[in-house]
Amino acid sequence: MLIVRMSYSGARMLFQQVINEDLGCASYLVGDTETGEAVVVDPQWEITPYLDVAARRGLRITHIIETHTHADHVSGRGRLHEATGATMHVSPLAGAEFPHEPLDDGAVVDLGGVRLEAMHLPGHRPEHTGLLLIDARRGEEPWAVLTGDALFVGDVGRPDLAVDAAEGARDQHGSITRLMELPDWVEVYPGHIGGSLCGSSRISAKTSSTIGFERGHSPLVATTDVEDFTHALTSQLGVKPPDLDRVVGMNSGPLVTARAQAPALEGDEFVRRAGAGGVVIDGRSSEDFSAAHIPGSLSVPATGSGFATRAALVAGRDETLWLVGSDEAQERDMAVRLASVGRHEIAGVLAGGFPAYLAEGLPTASIERIPASDLPARLASDTDILVVDARDEPEFAEYHLPGSVNRPYWAFRDGPGDIPRGRTLAVICAGGKRAGLAASALAREGHGPVIHVDGGGVQTLRELGLEMEQG
């Protein structure tokens, strides 16, 4: 799900922002229309948008730049190099095993009148490098900076994916200080937007900003003392990206180009093979899943953003994956999105999607689903119901229903924990999506009966006047 946004098209310079909404990743194509050369910065796994834009504007992609070794998604660098022969650039501190030109601090990638100047910005990772954009027809000063995972809109990159969190945070403070030496009017284009695990809940869904605005309105940027900054940045770190070590290895090792096409299997064969090993991921809506699904499958709706990350977080680290959707087109899209986070182990998709499975008359299971507004009455009538809160620990600590137990949805990749058997479980989160995944995981483990609380969550109960507790 890549969204191409036209950010700037002048007499000589083309600047294109490409957003992967599922992962919250931003990548960039920068071209000089007079020389016909272009560079792609932080290419996503799906490279078609870059090739299409370049072809449409008569550009040759001659350079590929990685701001750092990504931990949350697999780079499309190998596939793009295979398609274009472009020279690859990355910091020598990355220890990259693929052919590349070293991108040291101050190094310049020159497209003609358009130049990209490297700016070493460690913190998120030791090799992390930003890029100053210079259009010589407009002047020799940079008009924009690609900040990668150093500076986001409203946030900064997390410091704990490559080194000790405090060490990374202190480096990040130095990098932010360096960025803030740029003029206020310099435009900021980050490597991630809201929804990415490379930032925190502070990260905005906005796709750009300016140095001046971030200086005046980003709380972490305004924290000038290095120890205060370090404490603030390290105290709210969330779950790390799934399969971090595997993804980093894929991005720093030999070029990754292959993508296998998973076979489409008829319902009975699909169930037989999936039953022998692996995890079935159902990408249909929570409503459809609750009504009927293949027994033992996990509900990870593919609509909206975050599908690939959630699926990879909850599936076992070494499990093969089997995909179910409303139709085969949705299943193929799910496979592409999972490949972008390093999950290439797609063993098969369901031929014809779930409607074809139903038509075969094969076994199904269901999960009761109720709106959050109905939960108080259910709790009053059945005191044996245990509420399972699938939100992250900081959310639970802020406020939660007394007597509820917390198990974040992503923790279910390691099983149900100490959630007791033999009780009715009402699974809740903030809005319903995470609760649906956790409810399906509990049902898969044989817990329940399970109730999926949807259409609202803990905040809804609070607004209805139910007592909450903290801690």
Confidence of residue 404 (pLDDT cuts 50, 70, 90): very high
pLDDT digits (tens, 9 = 90+) for 42-69: 999 999 999 999 999 999 999 999 999 9
Does residue 459 surpass a pLDDT of 90?
yes
**Contact indicator for 415, 396 with CB cutoff of 8 Å:** no
Peptide bond into 254 cis (omega under 30): no
pLDDT of 438? 96
pLDDT of 411? 93
pLDDT digits (tens, 9 = 90+) for 92-101: 999 999 999 9
Q: How far apart are alpha carbons 51 and 18 in whole angstroms?
A: 12
Does residue 321 surpass a pLDDT of 80?
yes
Q: How far apart are alpha carbons 40 and 86 in whole angstroms?
A: 9
Nearest one of 218, 221, 210 to 186, comparing CA atoms: 210
Confidence of residue 412 (pLDDT cuts 50, 70, 90): very high
pLDDT of 347? 93
Does residue 8 surpass a pLDDT of 70?
no
3-state secondary structure of 144: strand
Give the range among 1-10, 53-62, 239-248, 362-371 with minimum mean pLDDT: 1-10
pLDDT digits (tens, 9 = 90+) for 109-123: 999 999 999 999 999
Give the range among 31-40, 176-185, 279-288, 297-306 with minimum mean pLDDT: 297-306
Do the two domains 264-359 and 368-463 of this chain adopt the same fold? yes
Nearest one of 213, 97, 103, 85 to 148, comparing CA atoms: 103
Q: How far apart are alpha carbons 315 and 103 in whole angstroms?
A: 36
**Contact indicator for 383, 422 with CB cutoff of 8 Å:** no
Does residue 435 surpass a pLDDT of 80?
yes
Confidence of residue 3 (pLDDT cuts 50, 70, 90): low
Confidence of residue 137 (pLDDT cuts 50, 70, 90): confident
Pick the CATH number of 368-463 from 3.90.105.10, 3.40.250.10, 3.40.50.970, 3.40.50.300: 3.40.250.10
| DSSP secondary structure letters along 291-344 | H-B-TT-EE---SSS-HHHHHHHHS-TT--EEEE-SSHHHHHHHHHHHHTTT--
Give the range among 200-209, 310-319, 382-391 with minimum mean pLDDT: 310-319
In the 8-state DSSP scheme, what is residue 24?
Answer: T
Conformational region of residue 367, where left means phi above 0, alpha means psi within -120 to 50, and beta covers everything else: beta
b/e per residue 65-103 (b: at least 16 CB within 10 A):
bbbbbbbbbbbbbbbbbeebebbbbbbebbebebebeeb
Confidence of residue 161 (pLDDT cuts 50, 70, 90): very high
Which tokens hold the place of 17?
A: 């922002």
- Residue-averaged pLDDT of the chain: 93
Which tokens hold the place of 371?
A: 């709106």
- Orientation angle between helical segments 226-234 and 165-179, nearest 10 degrees: 120
pLDDT digits (tens, 9 = 90+) for 192-246: 998 888 988 889 999 999 999 999 999 999 999 999 999 999 988 888 888 899 8
**Contact indicator for 156, 220 with CB cutoff of 8 Å:** yes
Instruction: Answer with the residue of higher pLDDT: 138 or 37.
Output: 37
Does residue 10 surpass a pLDDT of 80?
no
- Orientation angle between helical segments 307-314 and 328-339, nearest 10 degrees: 70
Q: Which CATH class is domain 2-248?
A: alpha beta
Strand order in the sheet with 101-102: 2-9, 13-20, 25-32, 37-41, 60-65, 87-90, 101-102
Q: Which CATH architecture best describes the domain 264-359? A: 3-Layer(aba) Sandwich (3.40)
pLDDT of 12? 83
Does residue 7 surpass a pLDDT of 80?
no
Q: What long-range pairs does 229-232 form, CB within 8 A, spacing at least 24?
A: 229/169, 229/172, 229/173, 229/176, 230/166, 230/169, 230/170, 230/173
Give the range among 159-173, 245-259, 389-403 with minimum mean pLDDT: 245-259
Instruction: Answer with the residue of higher pLDDT: 8 or 337.
Output: 337
- Position 43: which residue type? P
**Contact indicator for 247, 341 with CB cutoff of 8 Å:** yes
Q: Any bridge partners for residue 202, and if so which?
A: none
- Domain ranges within the chain, ordered by starting residue: 2-248, 264-359, 368-463
- Position 361: which residue type? G
**Contact indicator for 350, 325 with CB cutoff of 8 Å:** yes
